[in-house]
C-alpha cells in the first residue's frame, strides 16, 4: 500500500495526489484506506519512513560490529555499499525524486536530519581517533563523516533518482566507491592497499 502511494507521490507530487487516487491505485475503498491511515499526511509519512539520510547509520544493521575494530577500512566500504543499496532501491530513488520535485527538503527538515546523521556517524570516527586508527587533530569526527558521506549524498541527488538509467546509476556507485577508497587512504594510519586497483604498468619491469 505505502509503496503504491510513494509511486503516486513521486509522479504527481504531494499536493497532486489524493486519498481517492491512492485508494484506486491499491484497489481499496477510501473508507478502508482511512481505517489504516487517518490522513494523507500519515500515508506520506509511512511511505518515506526510513528512506531519508537517517539511512546512513541504519546501514550498520547488517554489518559485523567487530569489523569496525578489526578492519575499519573494510567496515567503511561495507557501510557505504549498504547505504548505496538502500538509496539505489526503487523506493529509495522515488523518495529522492519526490524531495526534489516537491521541494520538500525544508518542510521535512532534511537538513536537520542530515546534521544529526553526521553527528551519529561521527561516533565511528571518534572511536577510531581514540584508538589511534585516525590521527588526532585531523578534524572533528562529524566533519570527517561529512567528508566521507557528503559526496555520496550528492551522487544520490544527481544520479540515483527515479528517472536515472542503469548506466548512470552504475557509474554513480562506482564513483562513490572510488571516493571511499580515496577517503580511506587519506584518513587512516597505514591504510591497506585500495581494492580493485589494476596495475597498469606496461613497462615490463
Does the reported pTM lie above 0.85?
Answer: no
* Closest CA relative to residue 159, chosen from 77, 96, 102: 96
What is the tens place of the pLDDT at every residue in 15-66? 899 999 999 999 999 999 999 999 998 998 888 877 877 667 777 888 999 9
Share above pLDDT 70 across residues of the chain, in percent, rounded to a whole number:
88
| Contacting residues for 67 by C-beta, under 8 A, at least 6 apart | 74, 75, 78
What whole-number distance in Å separates Cα of residue 87 and Cα of residue 52? 8
Residue 32 sits in the same domain as residue 63 = no
**Between 54 and 170, residue with greater pLDDT:** 170
Domain of 88, in residue numbers: 50-187
Residue 5 sits in the same domain as residue 85 = no
Residue 5 sits in the same domain as residue 61 = no
Residue 183 sits in the same domain as residue 88 = yes
Is 127 contained in some domain?
Answer: yes
DSSP-assigned letter for residue 195: T
- The number of domains in the chain is 2
Residue 83 sits in the same domain as residue 183 = yes
Residue 27 sits in the same domain as residue 54 = no
Do 92 and 51 touch, CB atoms closer than 8 A?
yes
Is 30 contained in some domain?
Answer: yes
CA distances from 68 to 49, 74, 77, 78, 79 (A): 27, 8, 11, 10, 10
What is the tens place of the pLDDT at every residue in 120-160? 999 999 999 999 999 999 999 999 999 999 999 999 999 99
Question: How many CB atoms neighbour CB 127 within 10 A?
Answer: 15
Residue 182 sits in the same domain as residue 110 = yes
Residue 74 sits in the same domain as residue 128 = yes
Which domain CATH number covers 1?
1.10.10.60
Query: Taking all residues of the chain, what is their mean pLDDT, rounded to a whole number?
Result: 87
* Closest CA relative to residue 176, chosen from 155, 191, 157, 160: 155
Is 143 contained in some domain?
Answer: yes
Amino acid at each position: 500500500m505505502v509503496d503504491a502511494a510513494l509511486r503516486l507521490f513521486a509522479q504527481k507530487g504531494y499536493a497532486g495526489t489524493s486519498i481517492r487516487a491512492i485508494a484506486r491505485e491499491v484497489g481499496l475503498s477510501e473508507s478502508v484506506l482511512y481505517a489504516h491511515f487517518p490522513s494523507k499526511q500519515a500515508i506520506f509519512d509511512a511511505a518515506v519512513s526510513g528512506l531519508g539520510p537517517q539511512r546512513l547509520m541504519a546501514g550498520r544493521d547488517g554489518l559485523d560490529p567487530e569489523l569496525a575494530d578489526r578492519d575499519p577500512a573494510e567496515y567503511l566500504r561495507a557501510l557505504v555499499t549498504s547505504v548505496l543499496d538502500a538509496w539505489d532501491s526503487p523506493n529509495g530513488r522515488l523518495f529522492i525524486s519526490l524531495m526534489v520535485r516537491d521541494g520538500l527538503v525544508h518542510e521535512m527538515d532534511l537538513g536537520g536530519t542530515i546534521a544529526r546523521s553526521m553527528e551519529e556517524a561521527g561516533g565511528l570516527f571518534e572511536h577510531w581517533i581514540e584508538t589511534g586508527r585516525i590521527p588526532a587533530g585531523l578534524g572533528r569526527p562529524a566533519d570527517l563523516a561529512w567528508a566521507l558521506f557528503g559526496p555520496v549524498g550528492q551522487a544520490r541527488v544527481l544520479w540515483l533518482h527515479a528517472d536515472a538509467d542503469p548506466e548512470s546509476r552504475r557509474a554513480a556507485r562506482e564513483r562513490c566507491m572510488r571516493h571511499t577508497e580515496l577517503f580511506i587512504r587519506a584518513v587512516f594510519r597505514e591504510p591497506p592497499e585500495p581494492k580493485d586497483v589494476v596495475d597498469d604498468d606496461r613497462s615490463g619491469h
